[in-house]
Amino acid sequence: AQTVTQSQPEMSVQEAETVTLSCTYDTSESDYYLFWYKQPPSRQMILVIRQEAYKQQNATENRFSVNFQKAAKSFSLKISDSQLGDAAMYFCAYRRLGGGSNYKLTFGKGTLLTVNP
Amino acid sequence: NAGVTQTPKFQVLKTGQSMTLQCAQDMNHNSMYWYRQDPGMGLRLIYYSASEGTTDKGEVPNGYNVSRLNKREFSLRLESAAPSQTSVYFCASSEGLAYTDTQYFGPGTRLTVL
């Protein structure tokens, strides 16, 4: 079974600085997808960034980028120029290929990010 | 365009009571999902509906039933609530099940079972 581990329950960063959130996963599959979701105090889940395992190039979305290390099964999220609005719980998620009854999205336990002014 | 809406926002039940959580989306999405979120844990999938007329079990389906009433609505029913079902429940929808299809989440329902 796939598992997703986020080893940092809490992180803090100064406004305008850079922070990296860690995520590791365990799978025996060779192709899959990885995601980072943000959950602010409003509790809405918001997709931040996604990565296809077959792509070697790391995904980027504005101030958010990932460091995907397939062999190490590591998928970290880097937030540059941190803003107060980045404060939230961040979840790493794994999804295997396929749909229908094969659909499965596994989440880590989350990392609570605090941004200090 | 309200996105994904859920009712109620809060609910307190006694053990053994039943209730239905309602979810609706106005984005013409094909796929809909129900998750639960417990303290210190990520979201876990309860049930999902790939398209209108189909439903499938997720990771933690025991104690729940679902109905895809039409393309817009996907309800979650607890027939006999148990304290272990105290959680925050999220509904989500997406265009389809492709990984490129972003899931849009509702605001959640906080359920307490006494």
Mean pLDDT of chain A: 91
The answer to whether the CB atoms of A43 and B88 lie below 8 A apart is yes
Task: For residues A67 and B40, give the distance between their C-alpha atoms in angstroms, rounded to a whole number.
Answer: 25
| Range with the largest mean pLDDT of A18-22, A54-58, A104-108, B103-107 | A18-22
B53 and chain A in contact, CB less than 8 A: no
Per-residue pLDDT tens for A26-47? 998 888 899 999 988 877 788 8
- Structural domain of residue A108, as residue ranges? 3-116
> Which residues between 42 and 101 in chain A have a beta carbon less than 8 angstroms from any beta carbon of chain B?
42-47, 50, 52, 91, 93, 95, 97, 99-101
* Partner-chain residue, chosen from B42, B56, B97, that has the shortest CB–CB distance to A110: B42
What's the domain count of chain A? 1
Nearest CA-CA partner of B51 in B21, B70, B31: B31
CATH number at residue A72: 2.60.40.10
Residue A18 confidence class, pLDDT cut points 50, 70, 90 = very high
- Residue A55 sits at the vertex; the CA angle it makes with A54 and A57, to the nearest 5 degrees, is 155
Per-residue pLDDT tens for B8-52? 999 999 999 999 999 999 999 999 999 999 987 888 999 999 999
Nearest CA-CA partner of A91 in A31, A27, A44, A28: A44
